[in-house]
């Protein structure tokens, strides 16, 4: 399958099998098979991937801010193996649930320092 990454993949929302938002495709990672043929290995999402894609002074600033908000810098991107992609249409749809993916360092920081401090945030809604 041929795909124009800039038009058909980058900046698309990534959603899990239940329709929950995972993130946005900020970059892609390529691998090379044993025959020397390149293939798309993973989708990268998060501040670390976006900062590298932007580059320059703005990218360094974004990464510096993100690094200050996590317990263990540097901020690494969420890496979603491409084999987990079910299909690409208006969004990138995964064949797995959000809970089966590694968590984002930024999400952990926000949860611990912001969301968990909101009264009642530990109760289920409904």
Residue 47 lies in a domain: yes
Q: What CATH number did the domain enclosing 76 receive?
A: 2.30.30.240
Residue 125 lies in a domain: no
Residue 124 lies in a domain: no
pLDDT at 30: 92
Percent of all residues in the chain with a pLDDT value above 70, rounded to a whole number? 71
Residue 126 lies in a domain: no
Residue 123 lies in a domain: no
Residue 51 lies in a domain: yes
Segment 59-65 shows an average pLDDT of: 75
Question: What would the pLDDT profile of 23-33 be if each residue is shown by its tens digit?
Answer: 899 889 999 99
Cβ(25)–Cβ(9) under 8 Å?
Answer: yes
Q: Domain span at residue 51?
A: 5-117
Q: Which of 26-30, 93-97, 116-120 shows the highest mean pLDDT?
A: 93-97
From CA 17, how far away is CA 80, in angstroms rounded?
Answer: 14
Residue 113 lies in a domain: yes
| Overall number of domains in the chain | 1
């Amino acid at each position: 399958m041929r795909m124009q990454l800039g038009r058909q993949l980058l900046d698309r929302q990534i959603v899990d099998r239940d329709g929950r938002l995972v993130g946005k495709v900020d970059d892609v990672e390529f691998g090379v098979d044993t025959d020397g043929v390149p293939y798309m290995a993973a989708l990268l999402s998060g501040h670390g991937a976006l900062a590298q894609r932007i580059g320059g002074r703005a990218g360094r600033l974004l990464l510096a801010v993100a690094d200050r908000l996590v317990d263990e810098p540097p901020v690494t991107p969420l890496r979603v193996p491409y084999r987990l992609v079910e299909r690409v249409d208006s969004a990138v749809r995964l064949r797995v649930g959000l809970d089966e993916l590694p968590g984002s360092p930024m999400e952990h920081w926000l949860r611990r320092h912001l969301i968990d401090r909101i009264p009642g945030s530990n109760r289920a809604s409904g």
